[in-house]
Amino acid sequence: MWRSLIWDVPGFPRVGIVFKDITPLLGDPDGLAACVAELVEPFEDQGVELVAAPEARGFVIGGMAADRLDAGFVPLRKPGKLPRPTLGADYELEYGAERLEVHTDAIAAGARVLIVDDVLATGGTAAASAQLVMQGGGELVGFSFIVELAFLDGRRRLGDARIESALVVE
């Protein structure tokens, strides 16, 4: 079962946080394939044209999800990483502040976009990702996460969007 390949790392990146480490999952071909299949299954009949994912861990899962859905992939990058004009969205993490950017032409008007990431925690990264999809003119189909830390209530920041999480930690 792929869920056993997600390990808890207490005290990372700071005391009081239990980091969900997906690198063992990434290193297991069968577990990774099963996880990605589970992430995309709820959206297979939703006409997804693009999968957007924030760096860095989201890239791995998002790229695989895009391939499985026969969709394009849109990288949501940290500032200064994209070579052409960008749109940006600032957000708060449970342990700091960040910004995501996307090329201004990465999302065609009306494109149906699924956002994929490894963890839904406080919802900051996901909300910023959705903001970029909307700024780019896309239609948000929903979110798909490997792990949801339900006790942090990140869902509240995502409005009425469809949210699917493969593993929910209460």
The residues annotated as belonging to the active site are 57, 94
d(CA 73, CA 75) in angstroms, rounded, equals 7
100 by Cβ neighbours in 10 Å (0-12 / 13-18 / 19+) ranks as: buried
Amino acid at 123: G
- Helical ranges in the chain per DSSP H: 23-26, 29-40, 57-68, 124-135
Token pair listed for 166 = 């493969």
Residue 85: phi and psi, rounded to 5, are: -55, 145
